[in-house]
Amino acid sequence: MQTGFMTEEFLLDTETARRLYHTYAEQLPIIDYHCHVSPREIWEDRHFSNIAEAWLEADHYKWRAMRSNGVPEEKVTGAASPREKFDAYAAMMPKCIGNPLYHWTHLELKRYFGFSGCLSGKTADEVWQLCEERLRQPDMGVRGLIRRSGVEVICTTDDPADTLEYHEKLAADQSFATKVLPAWRPDKAIHLDAPGFADYMEALGKAAGMEIADFSSLLEALRGRMDYFARRGCVASDHSLGYSFFRPAGLAAAEAAFQKALEGKALTPEEREGYQTELLLFLGREYGRRGWVMQLHLGPVRNASSRMFRSFGPDAGCDCMGPALDSRPLAAFLDALDKELLLPKTILYSLNPNDNALLGSLIGCFQHSDEAHPALPGKIQQGSAWWFNDSLEGMREQMRTLASTSLLGNFVGMLTDSRSFLSYTRHEYFRRILCGLLGRFVEEGLYPADEEALGRIAADVSYYNAKRYFGF
Per-residue pLDDT tens digits for 101-123 = 999 999 999 999 999 999 999 99
Residue 300: pLDDT over 90:
yes
Per-residue confidence at 177, pLDDT binned at 50, 70, 90? very high
Q: pLDDT tens for residues 13-49?
A: 999 999 999 999 999 999 999 999 999 999 999 999 9
What whole-number percentage of the chain has pLDDT above 90? Answer: 96
Q: pLDDT tens for residues 201-230?
A: 999 999 999 999 999 999 999 999 999 999
* Angle (nearest 5°) at CA 422 between 417 and 424: 55
DSSP bridge pairs for 300: 321
pLDDT at 376: 86
pLDDT at 375: 77
Residue 371: pLDDT over 80:
no
Span 129-147, average pLDDT: 97
Residues in the chain: 472
pLDDT at 368: 87
Q: pLDDT tens for residues 278-296?
A: 999 999 999 999 999 999 9
Residues contacting residue 192 through CB under 8 Å, at least 6 positions apart: 257, 258, 261, 267, 272, 275, 276
Residue 3: pLDDT over 70:
no
Query: Per-residue b/e over 142-175, b at no fewer than 16 CB within 10 Å?
Result: bbbbbeebbbbbbbbbbbbbbebebbbbbeeeee
What whole-number percentage of the chain has pLDDT above 70? Answer: 99
Residue 149 main-chain phi, psi, to 5 deg: -85, -10
